[in-house]
């Protein structure tokens, strides 16, 4: 198929570079809120279809009688410049949609795992997923109104996080706060490459 | 695709009936296409001045897709704009590709990481927002 191109370097072709960032975390941790706060457009939604092919590989007890089922995905966009765009994808909450995570994570720059201190264990599956696949991630501790504030160190211990995984307190509703989380992720990715981004 | 259509008022359409319009009706039941592996952020770009009249077999959705892709647009945005599932858009894109009406620019493969210039541009861009 000569009309399909794999561009390692697309600048100058008139086609921007699109970088994917995943926003993960347990149900109600603020994923959709964070995507909304950061996206320059109203967050968009699309659907992916779970076909018979994926049903064979995923154990979906109880849905065998349906030939297809759809999974909604939230995503948002941040245009950095005319050659560079960030796409933020909220990951579907249910564990049975792991196949969709693989599609989202393929080629992703990295991930933000949102943690809710009232239900810390809810973000364990996300952390396991990114650790196992070597995808760089940061943990954003979403400060909900009225939720008990824990020290970041206490949360790090509870999550059994590697010392080099950045943790950031954040408010998923606040754009500036969300930006700070994304910046810490990109800086983390750069550090993993051994080329720290110089501070501005 | 939506299950909350007014059709649900009809007694013969309960939850077990599933979506009122099957997602792949539009593709004639085809689930796989050459475009199956396309990334969610693969850019689709229509050929300049595509001769759509030469392809009467194409659906209105195909034509809309070409129209939307005049400006290079990522697959996931096309799906959102058309309110169609990503899998359906991949099949439609395969039809357009085989007719030479669009080109698709896949993002760099997973092994490729953006270089430091790109990461720096992202950080600078985010700080400036």
Who has greater pLDDT, B7 or A71? A71
* A93-97, A109-113, B96-100: segment of lowest average pLDDT: A93-97
Nearest residue, CB atoms, A46 vs list B86, B105, B127: B86
Give A4's DSSP letter: E
Three-class secondary structure assignment of A115-181: EEHHHHHHHHHHHHHHHHHCCCEEEEEECCCCCCCCCHHHHHHHHCCCCCCCEEEECCCCHHHHHHH
Residue B123: the pLDDT is 95
Q: Which of A68, A77, A85, A192 to mutate to test the interface with B (most CBs of B within 10 A)?
A: A68
The predicted pLDDT at position B26 comes to 76
The DSSP letter of residue A91 is P
The CATH number of A17-191 is 3.40.50.300
> A3–B108: do the CB atoms touch at under 8 Å?
no
For the entire predicted model, the pTM comes to 0.81
Residues B94-122 have a mean pLDDT of 84
Looking up residue B76, the CATH number of its domain turns out to be 1.10.10.10
Per-residue tokens: A25 = 């975390």
- Residue B48 CA to its chain's centroid (Å): 19
Q: Number of folded domains in chain B?
A: 1
Are B97 and A3 an interchain contact pair (Cβ–Cβ within 8 Å)? yes
- CB-CB under 8 Å, B106 with A7: yes
Tens digit of each residue's pLDDT (9 = 90 or more) over B26-74: 777 777 666 667 889 999 999 998 889 999 999 999 999 999 999 889 9
Cβ-Cβ contacts under 8 Å for A31 (sequence gap 6 or more): A23, A24, A25, A74, A90, A91, A93, A114, A172
Higher-pLDDT residue of A68, B94? B94
- Give me the pLDDT at residue A58, please: 44
User: Does B31 sit within 8 Å of A53, measured CB to CB?
Assistant: yes
Strand B73-74 vs strand B43-46: parallel, antiparallel, or unpaired?
A: antiparallel
**Termini Cα distance of chain B:** 36
Q: Per-residue pLDDT for A59 more than 50?
A: no
Question: What pLDDT, on the 0 to 100 scale, is given for residue B15?
Answer: 56
Mean pLDDT over all residues of chain A?
Answer: 81
Residues of chain B neighbouring A74 (CB-CB closer than 8 A): none
Tens of pLDDT, residues B75-105: 999 999 998 888 889 999 999 999 999 999 8
What ipTM describes this predicted complex?
A: 0.80
Alpha-carbon dihedral angle through residues B64, B78, A103, B112, given to the nearest 10 degrees? 110
Return d(Cα B103, Cα B8) in angstroms, integer.
40
Q: How confident is the model at residue A44 (pLDDT cuts 50, 70, 90)?
A: confident
CB A74 within 8 A of CB A43: yes
- What is the number of CB-based contacts under 8 A between chain A and chain B? 155
Q: For chain B, say whether A174 makes contact (Cβ under 8 Å).
A: no
For residue B4, is it within any domain?
A: no
Nearest-by-Cβ selection for A44 from B77, B97, B109: B77
* B72 → closest Cβ in A4, A15, A200: A15
Torsion of CA B71, B73, B79, B82, to 10 degrees: -10
Q: Which residues on chain A are in Cβ contact (under 8 Å) with B80?
A: 44-46, 75
Q: How far apart are the CA of B79 and the nearest CA of chain A, in angstroms? A: 6
Q: What is the mean pLDDT of residues B5-11?
A: 49
Out of A107, A179, A182, name the one closest to residue B107 (CB): A107
pLDDT at residue A69, as a whole number: 62
With CA atoms as reference, report the closest residue to A110 among B126, B42, B120, B119.
B119
Across the range A121-149, mean pLDDT stands at 88
Residue B7 is predicted with a pLDDT of 43
A200: nearest CB among B72, B105, B124: B124
Would B108 be classed as within a structural domain? yes
Residue B19 lies in a domain: no
pLDDT of residue B35: 61
Q: What is residue A138's predicted lDDT score, i.e. its pLDDT?
A: 98
Residues in contact with A13: Cβ distance below 8 Å, sequence separation at least 6, in sequence order: A7, B105
**Contact list, B16 vs chain A (CB under 8 Å):** 65
Q: What is the pLDDT of residue B128?
A: 92
d(CA A126, CA A124): 5
Residue B111 lies in domain: 29-128
């Amino acid at each position: 198929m000569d009309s399909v191109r794999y561009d390692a370097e697309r600048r100058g072709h008139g086609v921007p570079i699109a970088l994917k960032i995943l926003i993960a975390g347990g149900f109600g941790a603020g994923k959709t809120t964070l995507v909304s706060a950061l996206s320059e457009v109203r967050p968009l939604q699309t659907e992916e279809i779970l076909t018979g092919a994926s049903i064979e590989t995923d154990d979906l007890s109880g849905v065998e009688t349906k030939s297809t089922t759809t999974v909604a995905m939230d995503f948002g966009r941040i245009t950095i410049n005319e050659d560079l765009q960030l796409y933020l994808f909220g990951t579907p909450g249910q564990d049975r949609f792991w196949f969709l995570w693989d599609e989202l994570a393929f080629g992703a720059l990295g991930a933000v795992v949102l943690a809710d201190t009232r239900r810390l264990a809810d973000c364990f599956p996300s952390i396991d997923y990114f650790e196992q696949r070597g995808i760089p991630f940061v943990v954003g501790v979403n400060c909900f109104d009225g939720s008990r504030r824990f020290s970041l160190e206490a949360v790090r211990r509870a999550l059994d996080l590697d010392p080099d995984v950045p943790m950031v307190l954040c408010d998923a509703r606040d754009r500036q706060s969300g930006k700070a989380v994304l910046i810490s992720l990109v800086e983390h990715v750069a550090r993993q490459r051994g080329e720290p981004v110089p501070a501005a | 695709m939506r299950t909350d259509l007014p059709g649900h008022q009809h007694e013969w359409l309960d939850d077990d009936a599933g979506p009122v319009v099957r997602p792949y009706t539009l593709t004639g039941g085809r689930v796989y296409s050459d475009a199956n592996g396309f990334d969610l952020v693969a850019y689709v770009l229509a050929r300049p001045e595509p001769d759509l009249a030469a392809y009467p077999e194409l659906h209105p959705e195909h034509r809309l897709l070409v129209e939307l892709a005049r400006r290079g647009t990522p697959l996931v945005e096309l799906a959102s704009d058309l309110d169609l599932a990503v899998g359906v858009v991949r099949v439609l894109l395969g039809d357009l590709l085989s007719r030479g009406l669009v080109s698709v620019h896949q993002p760099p493969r997973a092994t490729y990481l953006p270089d430091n210039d790109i990461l720096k541009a992202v950080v600078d861009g985010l700080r400036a927002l």
